[in-house]
């Protein structure tokens, strides 16, 4: 029996009715796809990175999503500035540490954002997440080298250590706040063949966190929603191109009722 | 009976036969979609923003499209530099003031571009356009808070005040040069669910302005073309993802004859 | 009878089994499409441009793809820095000189990259490639003004002069190392109606160069693969939008066996 099923549907309903403004400082590769995923889900995306604008934008956003996919020093400064504004306003901050562990710049930037802003949720693959703790980890590009299974034990400890909710995606997704751990089934093998599916997941976690004060259920229900969309999209896809298109369609057409019935979140 | 029907078809024909080079300095989110919309329509897009290149590029472009969607100070400087070159050559400049009214940086940058370059057409939603005049306006992200109807009265006055042609898009589009006002029907409710449809509209206005000396008819016919493409795309779409794909297909397959028959531009 | 047919299939197999990490420093317009093309083919794309990260990233990449499509001085510095790292490690470097010949900045930047790094393969259209030699050439935006036929004679000489393998794409593609010249048939008239098809071709050349020590056969087989995907995609496409989607699907679904049978590479 799925946990949070009712809440999943309620969160989707709330996103569609309140259209929360999600401020994204994200990478060049996925900006379009991320904005379209948020729009399809019902949220209002805005992308803004200028150092002299991010505080204004963050101040009226319902959630802030920071993604270090094509980072540079200037962008990290903007992320931290926006993050401080969001922190002061108790606005949820979602960090996507793309490629953390792969290069010193990425690992250090992710760690700096965690230290200097009040990150609520970190969404990444296992190797990215592991690189943020003391445990050493090598990342091959943005691909995961560790399975969610390998990461599960460490995740709970790491969430407690970092004082955040962790959302670790892979074949099975894992969400933990350091005390409770939930696993989420869903998605499709085509998911990692499209760039930015992880980044879109992070943005959707942001949209759900904008309408759900409980970061654990926000993250779990957003991932259940995204996983269900992936399953639905895979049914009509002929490859990664048509999958990407069908995924956006699915984020738009899945009803709260469908999500309540299809969410597969269980205590791990 | 539609105004400019003949001209709409002629403009589309002229874009396809002369393939005008459209120089875009636009935002990261929509660059790919904008380039593909221009290519599908028959124009030749180029994206170039480097401060030491924009004058060269603007000097042989048939139209310049400036879009402040993910602006920063450096990019605004490049926009102004390119704009001055275009102004000196009487090349039409289309400004898309994305998010004007939302943050001081956006409003001020849009106003500065208008003051320092010879903008021909401004294409935006009602709240963005209104923020450029004296009337105060709050924008919720990049979404419109004012209806075209609310804006209609102000539009004519504002166009005269700014000395430009205004193209205000929404459920009904509105084009005015400060004397005449035309409304354009078309499009679909899926349009605002895809990021960059407004930006693509601005770019297409640029392509039509490259082949039509009358900015009023250039803007009106381009929006009629885009609206017709939206209607055609919606017929086969299953959501925003497939709509986006079908929209590009429609921009490519709509014939000048179809556009003459389908344009719905009337004096407002 | 096609040359390199067996090798084409073997290269595709090797890309899919080894998933080489392809480091791209490319333009904003095509980043998403390029990453998806590489993923669909089986490679692992990473986009990274920060001056303080590119050496790290280039040091563990299997190929480096440099694309000057939306260049600025800062990005060119990063390209050169990454290029020097790749050169020192004998990692193949593919240069896509987008718009070379169109503006001094582009031509000079492309030439500087060639002079200061050990470029293995240059992939461009005829007018871009010609602009890199002594012969003067005007480019209209990123569109080709010279046919491959015009370029063929010059190509061999130019490849020898520059000491690189040239991959010139157009209606017929041409690959030469200065001694041998091969032509490759394939593709579709819809290809130039989608932005970034050339850039994706360059990235795929990078993926094949990562698994094939012979730059001539790497370039030829990658272009044969891309051309075959274009043909396959065109069969179901209704315009550039659906073509783009089908092209990504085709890069994913074409088997090594299909490629061996479908590659059309002949000595020119």
- The string of DSSP letters for C136-157 reads ----BTTB--S-HHHHHHHHHH
Beta carbons of B126 and B138 less than 8 angstroms apart: no
Domain C5-267: assigned CATH number? 3.40.1190.20
Question: CB contacts < 8 Å between A and B, how many?
Answer: 94
Alpha carbon distance A38, B227 (integer Å) = 23
What's the mean pLDDT in A117-127? Answer: 96
Residue B143 and residue A248: Cβ atoms within 8 Å? no
3-state secondary structure chain B: CCCCHHHHHHHHHHHHHHCCEEEEECCCCCHHHHHHHHHHHCCEEEECCCCCCHHHHHHCCCEEEEECCCCCHHHHHHHHHHHHHHHHCCCCEEEECCCECCEHHHHHHHHHHHHHCCCCEEEEEHHHHHCCCCCCCCCECCECCCCHHHHHHHHHHHHHHHCCEEEEECCCEEEECCCCEEEECCCCCCHHHCCCHHHHHHHHHHHHHCCCCCHHHHHHHHHHHHHHHHHHHHHHCCCHHHHHHHHHHHHHHCCHHHHHHHCCEEEC
A90 Cβ under 8 Å from any chain C Cβ: no
The pLDDT value recorded for residue A135 is: 53
Half-sphere exposure of B60 (CA within 13 A, CB side): 15
The pLDDT value recorded for residue A145 is: 44
Q: Which residue of B has its CA nearest to A237?
A: B242
pLDDT level of residue C140 (50, 70, 90 thresholds):
very low
Query: Which tokens in the block code for residue C84?
Result: 């020097």
Mean pLDDT of chain C: 93
C31 Cβ under 8 Å from any chain A Cβ: yes
All residues of chain B having their beta carbon less than 8 Å from the beta carbon of residue C70 are 31, 47-50
Query: Which tokens in the block code for residue C119?
Result: 């470029």
Summarised one tens digit per residue, pLDDT across range A223-236 is: 999 999 999 999 99
Residue C103 and residue B44: Cβ atoms within 8 Å? no
The pLDDT value recorded for residue A155 is: 87
A141 closest CB neighbour out of C21, C31, C252? C21
Q: In this structure, what DSSP letter does residue A100 have?
A: B
pTM > 0.90: yes or no: yes
A157 CA: distance to closest CA in chain B (Å): 37
Beta carbons of B51 and B74 less than 8 angstroms apart: yes
Helix (H) or strand (E) holding A176: strand A173-176
Residue C70 and residue B53: Cβ atoms within 8 Å? no
A44 closest CB neighbour out of B143, B194, B241? B143
A52 closest CB neighbour out of B73, B193, B245? B73
Alpha carbon distance B146, B48 (integer Å) = 33
Beta carbons of A16 and A182 less than 8 angstroms apart: no
Residue A241 and residue C253: Cβ atoms within 8 Å? no
Residue C238 has pLDDT above 70, yes or no: yes
Beta carbons of A91 and A61 less than 8 angstroms apart: yes
pLDDT level of residue C135 (50, 70, 90 thresholds):
low
What Å distances lie between residue B148 and B178, B186, B262, CA to CA?
Answer: 16, 14, 22
A16 Cβ under 8 Å from any chain B Cβ: no
Alpha carbon distance A29, A99 (integer Å) = 13
Residue C195 and residue B35: Cβ atoms within 8 Å? yes
The pLDDT value recorded for residue B153 is: 74
Residue B56 and residue C104: Cβ atoms within 8 Å? yes
What's the mean pLDDT in B10-31? Answer: 98
C72 Cβ under 8 Å from any chain B Cβ: yes
The pLDDT value recorded for residue A138 is: 41
Q: What are phi and psi of C6, to 5 degrees?
A: -60, -45
User: Does the CA dihedral B22-B26-B32-B37 come out positive or negative?
Assistant: negative
Which residue, B117, B91, B118, B56, is CA-closest to B211?
Answer: B91
The A121-125 sheet, strands edge to edge: A44-47, A21-25, A63-67, A93-96, A121-125, A165-169, A173-176, A181-184, A265-267
The pLDDT value recorded for residue A142 is: 38
Paired residues of B123 in beta bridges: B167
Query: For residue C90, how many other CB atoms are within 10 A of its CB?
Result: 9
Residue B142 has pLDDT above 90, yes or no: no
All residues of chain B having their beta carbon less than 8 Å from the beta carbon of residue A240 are none
C27 Cβ under 8 Å from any chain B Cβ: yes
What's the mean pLDDT in A238-254? Answer: 98
Residue C193 and residue B252: Cβ atoms within 8 Å? yes
Q: Which residue of C has its CA nearest to A68?
A: C48
The pLDDT value recorded for residue C134 is: 67
The pLDDT value recorded for residue B148 is: 56
C52 Cβ under 8 Å from any chain A Cβ: yes
All residues of chain B having their beta carbon less than 8 Å from the beta carbon of residue C238 are 246, 249, 253
The pLDDT value recorded for residue A186 is: 95
All residues of chain A having their beta carbon less than 8 Å from the beta carbon of residue B72 are 49-51
What's the mean pLDDT in C20-46? Answer: 98
DSSP string, A233-256: HHHH-SSHHHHHHHHHHHHHH--H
pLDDT level of residue A133 (50, 70, 90 thresholds):
confident
Contacts of B136 (CB under 8 A, 6+ apart): none
Residue A13, SS3 per DSSP: helix
- Residue of C26, C29, C30 for testing the chain B interface, max B β-carbons within 10 Å: C29
The C121-125 sheet, strands edge to edge: C44-47, C21-25, C63-67, C93-96, C121-125, C165-169, C173-176, C181-184, C265-267
- What share of chain B in percent tops pLDDT 70? 93
A148-181 as b/e: b if 16+ CB within 10 A: beebbebbbebbeebebbbbbbbebbbbbbbebb
Residue A118 has pLDDT above 60, yes or no: yes
What's the mean pLDDT in A56-78? Answer: 97
Q: Which residue of B has its CA nearest to A55?
A: B103
What's the mean pLDDT in C58-77? Answer: 97
All residues of chain B having their beta carbon less than 8 Å from the beta carbon of residue C103 are 48, 53, 56-57
Beta carbons of B98 and B85 less than 8 angstroms apart: no
A72 Cβ under 8 Å from any chain B Cβ: no
B35 Cβ under 8 Å from any chain C Cβ: yes
Residue C31 and residue A33: Cβ atoms within 8 Å? no
Alpha carbon distance A200, A40 (integer Å) = 11
Residue B39 and residue C194: Cβ atoms within 8 Å? yes
User: What are the structural domain ranges in chain A?
Assistant: 5-267
Alpha carbon distance C28, C31 (integer Å) = 6
Half-sphere exposure of B165 (CA within 13 A, CB side): 23
Residue B239 and residue A247: Cβ atoms within 8 Å? no
Alpha carbon distance B26, B3 (integer Å) = 31
All residues of chain B having their beta carbon less than 8 Å from the beta carbon of residue C99 are 46, 48
Contacts of A262 (CB under 8 A, 6+ apart): A186, A224, A228, A231, A254
A57 Cβ under 8 Å from any chain B Cβ: yes
B73 Cβ under 8 Å from any chain A Cβ: yes
Residue A90 has pLDDT above 50, yes or no: yes
The interface residues of chain A toward chain B in range 103-142, judged by CB-CB distance below 8 A, are none
Residue C239 and residue B247: Cβ atoms within 8 Å? no
Residue C149 has pLDDT above 80, yes or no: no
B49 CA: distance to closest CA in chain C (Å): 7
Question: CB contacts < 8 Å between B and C, how many?
Answer: 95
The pLDDT value recorded for residue C146 is: 55
Residue B145 has pLDDT above 60, yes or no: no
What's the mean pLDDT in C225-236? Answer: 98
Summarised one tens digit per residue, pLDDT across range B227-241 is: 999 999 999 999 999
Alpha helices in chain C (DSSP H): 5-18, 31-41, 54-59, 73-88, 104-116, 126-130, 148-162, 197-209, 215-236, 240-253, 256-262
Beta carbons of C20 and C44 less than 8 angstroms apart: yes
B28 closest CB neighbour out of A28, A245, A249? A28
Task: State ipTM.
Answer: 0.94
Alpha carbon distance C33, A216 (integer Å) = 33
Residue C248 and residue A239: Cβ atoms within 8 Å? yes
Summarised one tens digit per residue, pLDDT across range C35-47 is: 999 999 999 999 9
- What share of chain C in percent tops pLDDT 70? 93
Alpha helices in C19-53 (DSSP H): 31-41
Mean pLDDT of chain B: 93
Alpha carbon distance C245, C261 (integer Å) = 23
Residue B239 and residue A250: Cβ atoms within 8 Å? yes
All residues of chain C having their beta carbon less than 8 Å from the beta carbon of residue B250 are 239
Length of chain C: 268
Alpha helices in chain A (DSSP H): 5-18, 31-41, 54-59, 73-88, 104-116, 126-130, 148-162, 197-209, 215-236, 240-253, 256-262
Residue A47 and residue B30: Cβ atoms within 8 Å? no
A40 closest CB neighbour out of B32, B103, B239? B239
What's the mean pLDDT in A115-139? Answer: 83
Longest dimension (CA), chain B: 48
The B181-184 sheet, strands edge to edge: B44-47, B21-25, B63-67, B93-96, B121-125, B165-169, B173-176, B181-184, B265-267
């Amino acid at each position: 029996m799925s946990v949070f099923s009712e809440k999943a549907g309620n969160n989707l309903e709330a996103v569609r009715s309140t259209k929360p403004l999600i401020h994204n400082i994200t990478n060049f590769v996925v900006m379009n796809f991320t904005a379209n995923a948020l729009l399809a889900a019902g949220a209002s995306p805005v992308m803004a990175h200028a150092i002299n604008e991010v505080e204004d934008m963050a101040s009226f956003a319902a959630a802030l999503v920071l993604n270090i996919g094509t980072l540079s020093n200037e962008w990290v400064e903007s992320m931290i500035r926006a993050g401080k504004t969001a922190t002061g306003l108790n606005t949820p901050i979602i960090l996507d540490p793309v490629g953390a562990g792969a290069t010193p710049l990425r690992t250090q930037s992710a760690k700096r954002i965690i230290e200097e802003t009040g990150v609520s949720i970190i969404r990444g693959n296992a190797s990215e997440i592991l690189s943020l703790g003391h445990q050493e980890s090598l990342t091959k590009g943005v691909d995961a080298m560790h399975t969610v299974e390998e990461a599960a034990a460490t995740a709970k400890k790491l969430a407690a250590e970092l004082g955040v909710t962790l959302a670790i995606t892979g074949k099975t997704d894992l969400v933990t706040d350091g005390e409770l751990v939930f696993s989420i089934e869903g998605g499709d093998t085509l998911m990692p063949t499209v760039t930015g599916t992880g980044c879109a997941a992070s943005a959707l976690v942001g949209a759900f966190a904008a309408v759900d004060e409980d970061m654990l259920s926000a993250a779990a229900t957003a991932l259940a929603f995204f996983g269900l969309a992936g399953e639905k999209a895979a049914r009509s896809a002929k490859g990664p191109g048509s999958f990407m298109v069908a995924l956006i369609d699915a984020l738009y057409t899945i009803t709260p009722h469908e999500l309540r019935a299809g969410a597969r979140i269980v205590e791990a």
